[in-house]
Structure 1
Amino acid sequence: MSETTTDDLLRLDNQLCFALVTAARNVVAVYRPILEPLGLTHPQYLAMLALWEESPRSLGDLAAALAMEPATASPLVKRLEADGLIERRRSSADERRLDIALTPKGVALRAKAVDVPRQVMARLGMTVPEVEAVRDALTRFAGAVDL
């Protein structure tokens, strides 16, 4: 096994950050044509996934589920609301809190989105176990980063 030189460490192709950024950009590009018929962007799709898991939920809870700041999630929520997929309403538990809830149109969209993961795997030429292995490795990596 050869020793890694300083020059090797600084090669673009050897950078973890470059591989992750490139992979993220490519994955979004794979999702784009699959999500277009649903009328969703990739960030909107992620928000809908979170809401299909639990609705209603607060903006803060939704933002936390999406690993983003509430200020970043807010325009996303407004767009989904304008598209008639969600509605913001006062929480029954706490009037001061706005909950984000699926509309009937948002609930119905789930049935159309159910095949998205299979389409993505087909475009990537990957099996469920391969996708799970990549996802699990990335989840471990994300959990190891202490910000």
Structure 2
Amino acid sequence: MSCWALIPVKAPGLGKTRLARALAPDEREALVCAMFRHVLATARACAAIDRICILGPSRPGLCKGLVRLPDSGSDLNRALGSALGAIATTGPDRVVVLPADLPCLTTGDIDRSRACPQVWSAWRPIGMVRGPTLSR
């Protein structure tokens, strides 16, 4: 079974805005980048992931071998729907959606997410599961 990871990430300067009272814009951006790099490195280290797709604009730290899908900027659900529709045409059996802000994500978390029962999408029967959260 082929499994891809889809990592939605906001454009530079738009992430973690609820922390604006506590962190300066450059500190928020550094936090977003650090968490994104961690999620990306964890997905790359997971043997169960065959391909990684980034949903959003180009960001520092993106390396070769990643598929970047455009984000319309409207809302996350609409952007995910569009991305999953595009991914479904290329044929993975399952897509694990991993938010870019999971600082404690492990390869075991991804493996467990991949093993979850499938959620059927409207575009075609493609297994989609959402990544873990801190409230385990």
TM-score, length basis structure 2: 0.31
Report the structure, 1 or 2, having the larger helix content: 1
Q: Higher Cα Rg: structure 1 or 2?
A: 1
Q: Which structure ranks higher in relative contact order (CA pairs < 8 Å, sequence separation ≥ 6)?
A: 2
Q: What TM-score, normalized by structure 1, do the two folds share?
A: 0.30
